[in-house]
Copies of this chain bind each other. A is one copy, B any other.
Amino acid sequence: MLLWLRRYRRAALPGDIGAGIVVAMMMIPQGMAYALVAGLPPVAGLYASILPPLVYALFGSSMTQSVGPMAIVSLMTAAAIGPLAPAGTALHGVLAAQLALVAGAVLLLCGLLRLGFLASFFSRPVMSGFTVGSSLVIAWGQVTPLLGAAPPHLHLPSAALGLGSLALLVLARSWLAPLLARCGMPKTAADVAAKLAPMAVVLASIGLVAALDLPALGVAVTGPVPAGLPQLNLATSSAHWHALLQPGLLIGFIVFLISMSAAQTLAQKRGEKLVSNQELVGLGAANIASMVSGGFPVTGSLSRSAVNFAAGANTPLASVISAVLLAAALVLPTGWLALLPLPTLAATIIVAVLGMLQLDTLRTAWRYDRGDALAWLVTCVGVLALGVEAGVIVGVVLSMGTLIWRASRPHIAVLGRIAGTEHFRNVDRYAATTCATVLILRVDANLFFGNVDAVNERIEDELGAHPAARHLVLAMLAVSSIDTTALFALQELNDSLRARGIGLHLAEVKGPVMDRLRASSLPERLNGRIFLSTAMASDFLNPHQDPQ
């Protein structure tokens, strides 16, 4: 904990300060926008941008991760709480904080149970399909606030402000960085500066609202923001806890997947190392901190973390600085925030999620592996048709199904001898000679419950195809472990082969596997022998070397 602080070198300070300022300016519009996505007052997004990154800096393992509100997690929050309390009510806010606590507790528990290996749970296509589907749902949800009325209607002043903001942000996204670069700004600085466009547009829109008194024309604004730091919000309505359990679990899961994928992308760029179990603890603590400060579920965001990284962040001190700046902004008079027009916030959300609408994973998968492309499409359509929570479940089912399916297809080769040598190779790929009475199979996988049926089935198939076989030799050089289920399966195979007058032999059993097997009754019950090498088994069982 805080290893980065104890090892802090002064050379890292300028980068951290610069990145802290940039991220704070990015977080103000983003935090407020994502709070709206979650169905909460915009100020909740600022609360959720202060304590959580501070706590993450204490417990997390990534140097450049920026923890705070994030579009997809906010969408899931809205989906979880929507059925329990209307958006905008006080209860909605309390439940959002409770949801952060549930998700945080789940994450913390998973970290303490060392379940970090779950980070590789979703395949990239499933994650990408989920992200694109969720982005579309979020963008569609912002069309009404953008236009000031539900389409096909629109409220002209609101729509003008919203679409104008949108146009400016889209232009800034494509043209601002090259423009600044052409004006002589270094490329990285230009890229980072372009990320401040949302803050500039938000400030300009506030100026416009104040100058033209747009609320009088019916343009919606965020309204008064309570000054000062958030109150502890520990109010609980115990009847709702049960309803929050499942969504909290799913949100915790997605928080972890999103944050790990962001952190890994950046860590790899610098050759830094992440500790997934520590990430779980860091994210868990950050979400619990979010609950304490009246926020909602938070996670590490790739877009924000990438800016933090590009702006020069070297350590979590950058996040500490941006959190302090945000807290300062809330302590100062916040009247100006009340005039922030919602159409402009909607425009910032739409532009932010447009950045997540990336189809290159689908494109690559389509060319490279149709099954993966199908998984992408099913997950994306699942989110669009069934909602974001069902989308996560679709992704889980797809991932698990793929995992079981892969496990149930171990590679098994019939071995033959390369003439004149001690080498035994796959007869499908080498000119190797076999012998009719001795069938030699090599299983290229650890034996466990997920593949014992497939191994058994293949053995029966090969015995059927080699009716003269009196001996079956299993070459175990690729088997590093045998679980209890596979141990039983081997014993039953042994009994079945014994009844049919066929010997079962093992060859090239690895040392640790042999040590484990000795703790079982298999070696003494074996209807055959254990050979050090395949060649020794073959020589012993077929001393005359009759080719088939």
The chain B residue sitting closest to A399, CB to CB, is B449
Q: Is A120 within 8 A of B361, CB to CB?
A: no
Q: What CA separation (Å) do A449 and B364 show in the bound complex?
A: 15
Candidates B268, B404, B487; contact of A117 at CB < 8 Å: B404
- A442-453 toward B: CB 8 Å interface, digit per residue (1/0)? 001010111111
Q: What CA separation (Å) do A446 and B446 show in the bound complex?
A: 12
Q: What CA separation (Å) do A373 and B519 show in the bound complex?
A: 14
Within 8 A of B (CB), among A113-133: 115, 117-125
Candidates B403, B463, B519; contact of A450 at CB < 8 Å: B403
Q: Is A488 within 8 A of B120, CB to CB?
A: no
The chain B residue sitting closest to A463, CB to CB, is B271
Q: What CA separation (Å) do A500 and B268 show in the bound complex?
A: 11
A488 to chain B, nearest CB (A): 5
Residues of chain B within 8 A (CB-CB) of A446 are 406
Candidates B271, B365, B453; contact of A120 at CB < 8 Å: B453
Indicate whether A123 sits within 8 Å of B449 (C-beta atoms), given known contacts A407-B407, A460-B271. Answer: yes
Residues of chain B within 8 A (CB-CB) of A123 are 448-449, 483-485
Q: What CA separation (Å) do A137 and B201 show in the bound complex?
A: 65
Q: Count identical subunits in the complex.
A: 2
Residues of chain B within 8 A (CB-CB) of A399 are 449
| Number of A positions contacting B (CB below 8 A) | 65
- A434-472 toward B: CB 8 Å interface, digit per residue (1/0)? 000000000010101111111011001001000000000
A405 in the interface (beta carbon within 8 A): yes
The chain B residue sitting closest to A376, CB to CB, is B484
Indicate whether A449 sits within 8 Å of B124 (C-beta atoms), given known contacts A271-B460, A520-B368. Answer: yes
Q: List 27 A-B contacts (CB under 8 A).
A: A115-B401, A117-B408, A117-B409, A117-B454, A120-B404, A120-B407, A120-B408, A123-B448, A124-B488, A268-B493, A271-B463, A271-B500, A276-B453, A361-B488, A364-B487, A364-B520, A367-B519, A367-B520, A368-B519, A399-B449, A403-B403, A403-B404, A403-B407, A403-B450, A411-B480, A444-B478, A478-B478
